[in-house]
Structure 1
């Protein structure tokens, strides 16, 4: 008889051959257990086992991802508000409410799982004493929709100052340590009800089933925000001065509870095979008497309209209509360079963007994308979402905005930008934001909301463009039948040579924690772990978050980050990448470093050598790195 280990080995070989894959191949490639989720990707829309579902609510009213409040239609829901706030009506949020008209649709019979549950209450202009941070806390714990939570232990946390524009700042005071914030055993029970109020399906999720919940990741937060103020004249300055003459200071108090990115997508449920109206009810165990209601319209798949387009042999849309599916796939076709091999400095890079669903159907015609009005007002964009400034500032969520592109390179020169508006590599646009398909100001210009963005673009390379591999980064967002997705995909081309070049390789190893359902391609912007070094090409100033600040904050404040938080070697692959201390880089892990001694540097202009981006090693930290940090070897 063969030894047991030999029998097991032979059995694995037979199984591998029968399955048509190599079960013994443990190489660390994208999609394997070590890195991504390609073997089973629960966020692959119709190609996966279930569709991810996002549920959003503001002041008791369900909202669509574009901020429009959802009507209860003909349902008898006395507990659902008759009037709601429209988050896209302006900022600061107006106290006016109106009868909602938007509808949230889901596909009847489809298998879903809860990916995100985000609910919020906020008031603007009610707490206007700049120095009194107690009133906002009292409102949150005694008046807000979340007053029945356990607020014991609440403390005033960090003051986060952020420069939003030239001379204009935002101060956000966070509140921390309430019992409900620290809870780990609470649950969310999701029930799907028919029009008569009968429960047709039910599923229960643990709070620990969700990866993202902290304010550092833009999720659960209780805060008092003062916006559009000038720099204080000294630390602790009790007087707030408007940043711009004639403009008012904005005051907002908010409570937001947000659990996102399910770590257990196997907890799926079949949307009932109904037609017409119904309700998704979510009961949070910490608020058992106040369930959150999300009126929905069930649409059978056979009744979905044919508003997408078939693709032609060239991979571009035809005029043949077809039914849209779930998902978002971004494709790009590059025109051949003039010499047929690579682009030369000074040459234009021409390309065509094609946005598709996960089934290979075009979401727009060949030569144009839907207008802003199609997305925002009529719901006829096939789910494509554009930059939404009011949703960004009112809902405090950037994951459904900034659809567009950016061209950067060469890859080997991509580095963190500290204290400069112009990066030390080619970037179009140079600013942190991408080139939007719909410019943020377009909806407010005459006819701008009806303009249909083109699909063809041209970017001129500089005359002194360095040789190497360049990238066109496409950033897209889609909201379709309850599914909300973000994607960021790179497409590469050569400049000055045929030999490819690669990223600097200064940071990485994200796959140690971000694998399977929680691979980076499934969280926030949806960029693959292989291209994590592209994050720095947008996140290089405070207005959008500096990469060295928020990356440290997210992981240092996460209860799920179980690694030694002083071990820099997990993410930093080179010693050089750890040896540029600055106030913004260090404060991500060490808020309040040096107290108020260098507080004034927060308000220095971006390009000032003594700003928060300045290199502290040039002044003091020049001899040895902090002893409590574990750094890569020399």
Structure 2
């Protein structure tokens, strides 16, 4: 009688069917700058072999912060302008009192860096709690916040956005807009690297226009008052807010966040000085010349990095041989051999192993397990980042967490979900979020923070799975030596047939603008333009932003988008894709067009008819499309 196979033997038996994102199943041969489906990504800035290393600098309530939400200590430095204690972002709601920070930010001396992101935030929780009075939150941002010395002249009340967070719960966010500093386009950031004695050892000046996201169009920079845990209003303008039965009490937050992210000029570099020990990176914003932002750092030479990564064997997985980590993030997948040796059948179980590596091909974790959540929070995960509710909900940045996977398919059925919790294709998980390597809320479960998640996953395919090409979507984040990277890579496998299928091809041409350093692989989640149609697999409800809303809103509001904003043919490749008006799709470009006439649709169940996702006013908007819109030919 044969003994059962071990996990190691099963892993070794998995053939390497998908080893790199964007494998050559799809035709993505179109050159950048041309109209069509594909483009070659430009991303030479993500590993030890790079021309330069991207640097992200984050600040929360005056303290430098690591991307895991932990405040950075000034160590032994004498920095009168840097706080001795910092408010812990990860303390939840309400924020805990300030404590002495312990995290350290390491950088590599002698390495060429460029500033990819500077983000700073101040936050007031549970203080401006008069639901009907926006004067108090406005006064706080202008007179009390860390950004009170900015030019706030011209400030107005802007977009009023309701977002469903569960079946009976909403979040209302009211934005403040049009302040002079928000509209500025010629301000600068002076970056200086100081040694422990305060001497400037390196410097570089960045223009605001050197960043792709430098104003509120992308939602990163935001000034707003948010009320969470609220039930639907009784009528538009209802002044009596009621807490959701699923929430308990209303939560109020007023925030100012300034974020310059996505470098359009990574060739503007500086050399991290050849220093050891402690130092400071100082950012002086020309709009706040008397209040520089300080980021204490430790200079750790490459030769002194601990050997916490692993060499990779011929099978593409980690060996037991330790090695020092490098920069970058590469996601790889090994898909198990289907029972028939060619493709999976409906009802069978997909079997795959994840391997997360640096840009030099070193494994960031052992063969069978990933780092624990405790390792992540302690900056001991070799840079791998996990889901962090505080970074998502408080810092308001989904690109800082959410590492995990989603299985979707077949590709030809990937369509925008409108008003339904059930997508017209297979998705695991079916919810908008991916399946996290470490589940949300694990920090509140006894002992769970020490659990090391597996690298092997099994997903049951439905009995009625349609034939075609399916994708394992890996969403990953890594923060290492100041470098903060996001990656979303698809890996393909076949179900029901050997013949490959592809995306519907209803939208495209992203590479006309997103090429070179602006390639989508360098923006936000880091998905290649070749696979932009995978965005809809997650962004199909309000909780994470509906794709037809934020895509329109970002591009129509961006001063970098110089194209005719009424020309739908640039992004919509088929007429059908441009002929589904809805409250969600149209409001991105035309907020408040109907006033409160259809306001109640925002609070209808997504599965009800009509709703904000529905094909509203069919007789008006489809039969006679707006004359100012240029639509694809029939």
> Whole-Å Cα distance in 1 between the matches of residues 39 and 477 of structure 2?
20
1:585 and 2:578 correspond: no
| SS of equivalent residue, structure 1 residue 393 | helix
> Whole-Å Cα distance in 2 between the matches of residues 246 and 47 of structure 1?
49
> Whole-Å Cα distance in 2 between the matches of residues 269 and 41 of structure 1?
19
Match of 1:473 in 2: 473
> Whole-Å Cα distance in 2 between the matches of residues 75 and 44 of structure 1?
30
Evaluate the alpha carbon distance shift between residue 530 and residue 423 of structure 1 in structure 2; reply closer, same or farther with a 3 A threshold.
same
> Whole-Å Cα distance in 2 between the matches of residues 232 and 395 of structure 1?
27
Q: How far 1:41 moved relative to its partner?
A: 2.8
Match of 1:13 in 2: none
**Structure 2 gap segments, 5+ residues each:** 1-26
> Whole-Å Cα distance in 1 between the matches of residues 109 and 457 of structure 2?
39
Match of 1:350 in 2: 351
Evaluate the alpha carbon distance shift between residue 246 and residue 64 of structure 1 in structure 2; reply closer, same or farther with a 3 A threshold.
closer
Deviates more, 1:619-628 or 1:102-111: 619-628
Evaluate the alpha carbon distance shift between residue 533 and residue 297 of structure 1 in structure 2; reply closer, same or farther with a 3 A threshold.
same
Match of 2:260 in 1: 259
Deviates more, 1:136-145 or 1:190-199: 136-145
Q: CA contact under 8 A between 1:37 and 1:517: conserved in structure 2? A: no
Q: CA contact under 8 A between 2:46 and 2:54: conserved in structure 1? A: no
Match of 2:115 in 1: 114
Evaluate the alpha carbon distance shift between residue 264 and residue 306 of structure 1 in structure 2; reply closer, same or farther with a 3 A threshold.
same
> Whole-Å Cα distance in 2 between the matches of residues 355 and 31 of structure 1?
29
> Whole-Å Cα distance in 2 between the matches of residues 497 and 103 of structure 1?
52
Q: CA contact under 8 A between 2:33 and 2:513: conserved in structure 1? A: no
> Whole-Å Cα distance in 2 between the matches of residues 122 and 494 of structure 1?
48
Q: Which of these residues, 85, 88, 109, is aligned with residue 87 of structure 2?
A: 85
Match of 1:627 in 2: 627
Match of 2:504 in 1: 504
Evaluate the alpha carbon distance shift between residue 514 and residue 319 of structure 1 in structure 2; reply closer, same or farther with a 3 A threshold.
same
Matches for 1:264-413 after TM superposition, within 5 Å: 264-376=265-377, 378-413=378-413
Q: CA contact under 8 A between 2:46 and 2:359: conserved in structure 1? A: yes
Name the count of aligned residue pairs: 605
Q: Which of these residues, 53, 56, 62, is aligned with residue 64 of structure 2?
A: 62
Match of 1:181 in 2: 182
Q: CA contact under 8 A between 2:162 and 2:172: conserved in structure 1? A: yes
Match of 1:553 in 2: 553
How much is the aligned-residue C-alpha RMSD, in angstroms?
1.4
Matches for 1:220-235 after TM superposition, within 5 Å: 220-235=221-236
Q: How far 1:444 moved relative to its partner?
A: 1.6
Matches for 1:419-568 after TM superposition, within 5 Å: 419-568=419-568
**Structure 1 gap segments, 5+ residues each:** 1-26
Evaluate the alpha carbon distance shift between residue 410 and residue 617 of structure 1 in structure 2; reply closer, same or farther with a 3 A threshold.
farther
| SS of equivalent residue, structure 2 residue 252 | strand
> Whole-Å Cα distance in 2 between the matches of residues 454 and 246 of structure 1?
33
> Whole-Å Cα distance in 1 between the matches of residues 319 and 30 of structure 2?
33
Structure 1 residues 348-374: Cα deviation after superposition (integer angstroms, max 9, x where no partner): 110100000000000000000001111
Q: CA contact under 8 A between 1:93 and 1:123: conserved in structure 2? A: no
Evaluate the alpha carbon distance shift between residue 575 and residue 444 of structure 1 in structure 2; reply closer, same or farther with a 3 A threshold.
same
| SS of equivalent residue, structure 2 residue 440 | coil
Deviates more, 1:42-51 or 1:123-132: 42-51
> Whole-Å Cα distance in 1 between the matches of residues 595 and 413 of structure 2?
35
Q: How far 1:422 moved relative to its partner?
A: 1.1
Evaluate the alpha carbon distance shift between residue 116 and residue 230 of structure 1 in structure 2; reply closer, same or farther with a 3 A threshold.
same
Q: CA contact under 8 A between 2:389 and 2:441: conserved in structure 1? A: no
> Whole-Å Cα distance in 2 between the matches of residues 29 and 623 of structure 1?
37
Q: Which protein has greater RCO, CA pairs closer than 8 Å, 6+ apart?
A: 2
| SS of equivalent residue, structure 2 residue 291 | coil
Deviates more, 1:446-455 or 1:533-542: 446-455
1:75 and 2:85 correspond: no
Match of 2:23 in 1: none
Structure 1 residues 593-621: Cα deviation after superposition (integer angstroms, max 9, x where no partner): 21000001101112112111111144643
Evaluate the alpha carbon distance shift between residue 622 and residue 202 of structure 1 in structure 2; reply closer, same or farther with a 3 A threshold.
closer
Structure 1 residues 211-264: Cα deviation after superposition (integer angstroms, max 9, x where no partner): 012334231111111111011101111111111277221111111110000100
> Whole-Å Cα distance in 2 between the matches of residues 398 and 280 of structure 1?
25
| SS of equivalent residue, structure 1 residue 253 | strand
> Whole-Å Cα distance in 2 between the matches of residues 629 and 245 of structure 1?
42
Structure 1 residues 506-546: Cα deviation after superposition (integer angstroms, max 9, x where no partner): 00100011000110011000000000000000000000100
Deviates more, 1:228-237 or 1:605-614: 605-614
Deviates more, 1:445-454 or 1:470-479: 445-454
Q: How far 1:179 moved relative to its partner?
A: 0.7
Evaluate the alpha carbon distance shift between residue 181 and residue 128 of structure 1 in structure 2; reply closer, same or farther with a 3 A threshold.
same
1:47 and 2:49 correspond: yes
> Whole-Å Cα distance in 1 between the matches of residues 30 and 376 of structure 2?
33
> Whole-Å Cα distance in 1 between the matches of residues 343 and 616 of structure 2?
41
Structure 1 residues 131-181: Cα deviation after superposition (integer angstroms, max 9, x where no partner): 111111111111111111111111110101100112111111111111111
| SS of equivalent residue, structure 2 residue 398 | coil
Evaluate the alpha carbon distance shift between residue 246 and residue 116 of structure 1 in structure 2; reply closer, same or farther with a 3 A threshold.
closer
Structure 1 residues 301-340: Cα deviation after superposition (integer angstroms, max 9, x where no partner): 1000000000011111000000000000000001111111
Deviates more, 1:219-228 or 1:437-446: 437-446
Q: CA contact under 8 A between 1:373 and 1:450: conserved in structure 2? A: yes
| SS of equivalent residue, structure 2 residue 621 | coil
Q: CA contact under 8 A between 2:229 and 2:247: conserved in structure 1? A: no
| SS of equivalent residue, structure 2 residue 611 | coil
> Whole-Å Cα distance in 1 between the matches of residues 314 and 339 of structure 2?
24
State the TM-score, normalizing by the size of structure 1: 0.94
